[in-house]
Structure 1
Amino acid sequence: MTAADPRDTGRDGRAIARFLEMLAAEAGSARNTLLAYGTDLRGASDLLGARLAVAGENELGRLGAAWADLAPATAARKAAALRRFFAFLVDEGERDDDPSAALPRPRAGRALPKTLDRGDVDRLFAELQRRQAADPIPGHLRLTALVELLYGSGLRATELVSLPRRALRPDQPFLILKGKGGRERLVPISDRARAAVAEWAVLVPADSPWLFPSGKNHLSRVRLYQLLKTLAADAGIPPARISPHVLRHAFATHLLEGGADLRALQLMLGHADIATTQIYTHVDSRRLVELVNARHPLVDAHRNPA
């Protein structure tokens, strides 16, 4: 539980204090969560002249104007805190009504995924080739196989590092993976990736159950992350711009740029909802506009008027 705030006097202060006590005792909220709730509620109380606990819809509507310059995510967080507060007051019998419908519901724009352009990817593979030519050690073969699978198939980091030793077969250009939610999906494997894995696989101990072993287990996600950061730095790419997930995004982005169908991409990425996949269309808006201008039937009608 947080220490009592000196402002927790008066009707608003007492109501906020009781609400925070409930969150701590019944919901088991963490200290930082309680501090955030307290800050948001007291800030709203200050804006309404210490009338938050008794505020009606008209008064709450003023908060939307006061929050207009805030980031959508910040305003949404504040509104969520107030909704929970008013639900608590109703449950406690402090109020007969819940005015929180008047609170704004700002929608934060979904963050666009980080990705790499094709030049960046070319630099990564050029650095991998340089390493192998200069010092052909097993570690370089392993990293080449890892990067080929990340960029060539869009695997998630956990899926990649935990691949069974015999997951890829020379005569089978795809994997069947069980991803999030236990959903199975078919993942095509490029010829390049299969060749890189085959070259690495001959060095994997025969008794290892993993394709990418490390000690008694498989390679960790943290170690994969570190290897990619070092590779990026050596290739002249800021390490902050790369991660296993960024290579997965690059896989999706570049497939769309090449004309891939969104539904097919959804299946390959293992997204349950195509809305998740649609975020990648931002990267290719120019090509989509050109496609409409070049292929839409009304374009031909305009060029060849009757």
Structure 2
Amino acid sequence: MNWNSYIKSFQSYLKIERGLSKNTLANYTFDLERLCAFLLENAISVSPEKISEETIQQFIYSVSKEVNARSQARIISGLKSFFSYLIFEDYRSDNPMELIEAPRIGRKLPDTLSLEDIDNLIAAIDLSKPEGERNRAMLETLYGCGLRVSEIISLKISDLFFDEGFIKITGKGNKQRFVPIAKATQKFIAFYKNNIRIHLNIVKGYEDTLFLNRRGKQLTRAMVFTIIKQLAVKINLSKTISPHTLRHSFATHLLENGADLRSIQLMLGHESITTTEIYVHLDRKHLTQIINKFHPRKM
């Protein structure tokens, strides 16, 4: 097997057994191809089974001149996964990445909006136009359910379980989860679906897609970004925001109001609670209140 064969085998493993997203697969593949290019450029002929820690160190040192610390950390993480896979498949007995440490990077705290900011954004939507009702329903759902932009544009009518108070979301790696949806958000979706969407000339294949553009097709990610950015300009919001800002605000506001991290993790669809813990850094005052309220030695 040459490097390409190992990489294709690794891709199948990531896709089928680990259920990783297309973006993650593309990043891992790109980093491995970059390693192959380094070996070729330096006339180093070695297989994945035999490559040494020293050679990989040389590669990482070379890459460090071209990319930032966060990208270096991603490359190292991807290579560790690749060589762990080779061990799992009995191609190697050791991981040459074992002693290679990723650069320290600060954890970037997500931008959030206040409840007033969110109310102002939604109030700025022009409801005199048909797409206004769609945009209101969409923003209410993004914030009310903490969805990713990819999840909102792919949401299906058949995913709405309003009688049970949930919607079914297909997230990263095609993993599904049920997220609670408030009555108020249900009302906005129902109004859009029954009064606006019903009049669209829907293109074949999009009959079950909830949020559609004027041509009867699924909205694009770029369109959702544009809608939110235009509303931010309209209310003179100084922050640079995106659909993900509403997701961050959803999680932060839940935490501030007493929700536990495990529940927030399930609603956001985070695989690890470590990812959810970033929201703990956003409101120290809230943590002080938790200690004062629940710790047995609070007095």
**Same fold, judged at TM 0.5 (above):** yes
Q: Taking structure 1 as reference, are residues 178 and 76 closer, same or farther at Cα in structure 2, changes over 3 Å only?
A: closer
Tell me what 1:108 maps to: 105
Tell me what 1:122 maps to: 119
Letter in 1 for 2:154: S
4+ runs of 1 displaced by more than 6 Å?
Answer: 74-80, 100-104
5 Å-filtered alignment, 1:89-108, equals 105-108=102-105
Can you give the 5+ residue segments of structure 2 that lack an aligned partner in the other structure?
Answer: 1-37, 49-57, 78-96
Identity over aligned pairs, percent: 36
Q: Taking structure 1 as reference, are residues 22 and 194 closer, same or farther at Cα in structure 2, changes over 3 Å only?
A: farther
Query: Which moved further from structure 2: 141-150 or 111-120?
Result: 111-120
Say yes or no: does 1:150 pair with 2:171: no
Say yes or no: does 1:205 pair with 2:216: no
Q: Taking structure 1 as reference, are residues 42 and 218 closer, same or farther at Cα in structure 2, changes over 3 Å only?
A: closer
SS of residue in 2 equivalent to 1:271: coil
**Equivalent-residue separation in structure 2 for 1:183 and 1:101 (angstroms):** 30
Tell me what 1:233 maps to: 233
Query: Which moved further from structure 2: 148-157 or 173-182?
Result: 173-182
**Equivalent-residue separation in structure 2 for 1:246 and 1:224 (angstroms):** 12
Tell me what 2:187 maps to: 195
Tell me what 2:272 maps to: 273
Say yes or no: does 1:160 pair with 2:152: yes
SS of residue in 2 equivalent to 1:175: strand
SS of residue in 2 equivalent to 1:213: coil
TM-score (norm 2): 0.64
Alpha-carbon shift at residue 123 of structure 1 (Å): 1.6
**Equivalent-residue separation in structure 2 for 1:205 and 1:242 (angstroms):** 31
**Equivalent-residue separation in structure 2 for 1:249 and 1:77 (angstroms):** 22
Question: Does the CA contact (< 8 Å) of 1:40 and 1:78 recur in 2?
Answer: no
Tell me what 1:12 maps to: none
Q: CA-atom RMSD, angstroms?
A: 3.7
Question: Does the CA contact (< 8 Å) of 1:165 and 1:212 recur in 2?
Answer: no
Alpha-carbon shift at residue 278 of structure 1 (Å): 0.8
Tell me what 2:54 maps to: none
SS of residue in 1 equivalent to 2:167: strand
Alpha-carbon shift at residue 137 of structure 1 (Å): 1.9
**Equivalent-residue separation in structure 1 for 2:42 and 2:216 (angstroms):** 47
Tell me what 2:55 maps to: none
Letter in 2 for 1:109: G
Tell me what 1:180 maps to: 172
SS of residue in 1 equivalent to 2:197: coil
**Equivalent-residue separation in structure 2 for 1:43 and 1:124 (angstroms):** 41
Q: Taking structure 1 as reference, are residues 204 and 216 closer, same or farther at Cα in structure 2, changes over 3 Å only?
A: closer
Q: Taking structure 1 as reference, are residues 205 and 183 closer, same or farther at Cα in structure 2, changes over 3 Å only?
A: same
Q: Taking structure 1 as reference, are residues 158 and 22 closer, same or farther at Cα in structure 2, changes over 3 Å only?
A: farther
Q: Taking structure 1 as reference, are residues 165 and 283 closer, same or farther at Cα in structure 2, changes over 3 Å only?
A: same
Tell me what 2:133 maps to: 141
Say yes or no: does 1:286 pair with 2:285: yes
Tell me what 2:223 maps to: 223
- Alpha-carbon displacement from aligned partner over 1:115-137 (angstroms, at most 9, x marks no partner): 11223112212323xx33xxx22
Q: Taking structure 1 as reference, are residues 105 and 157 closer, same or farther at Cα in structure 2, changes over 3 Å only?
A: closer
Can you give the 5+ residue segments of structure 1 that lack an aligned partner in the other structure?
Answer: 1-16, 28-36, 45-70, 81-99, 301-306
Letter in 2 for 1:237: L
Quick check: which has more Rg, 1 or 2? 1
Alpha-carbon shift at residue 43 of structure 1 (Å): 9.8
Letter in 2 for 1:122: D
Question: Does the CA contact (< 8 Å) of 2:155 and 2:169 recur in 1?
Answer: no
TM-score (norm 1): 0.63
**Equivalent-residue separation in structure 2 for 1:170 and 1:112 (angstroms):** 33
Q: Taking structure 1 as reference, are residues 39 and 299 closer, same or farther at Cα in structure 2, changes over 3 Å only?
A: closer
Question: Does the CA contact (< 8 Å) of 1:20 and 1:38 recur in 2?
Answer: no
Q: Taking structure 1 as reference, are residues 78 and 212 closer, same or farther at Cα in structure 2, changes over 3 Å only?
A: closer
SS of residue in 1 equivalent to 2:179: strand
SS of residue in 1 equivalent to 2:104: coil
